[in-house]
């Protein structure tokens, strides 16, 4: 198991790459979720404004 974790002497590069990918994926999910919530808020506001006009 230790040899696997050492990755043949390249562990720092391999595990840091995995870490960077994990962070980027996490930020991508959070960003998408925030944009989705903002879009829902905007659509609800537009919908309520249109209902008030008619």
Q: How far is CA 32 from CA 10, 24, 27, in A?
A: 33, 12, 8
Residue 43, pLDDT score: 95
Are the C-beta atoms of 15 and 7 separated by less than 8 Å? yes
Residue 54, pLDDT score: 55
Distance CA 25, CA 27 (A): 5
Over residues 18-54, the pLDDT tens digits come to 999 999 999 999 999 999 999 999 999 999 988 876 5
User: Which value, in Å, is the radius of gyration of the alpha carbons in the chain?
Assistant: 22
Residue 37, pLDDT score: 98
SS3 call for 17: helix
For the whole model, what pTM was predicted? 0.70
């Amino acid at each position: 198991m230790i040899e696997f974790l050492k990755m043949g002497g390249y562990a720092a590069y391999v595990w840091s790459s995995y870490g960077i990918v994990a962070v980027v994926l996490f930020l991508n999910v959070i960003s998408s979720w925030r944009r989705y919530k903002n879009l829902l808020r905007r659509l609800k506001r537009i919908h309520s404004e249109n209902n008030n006009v008619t």
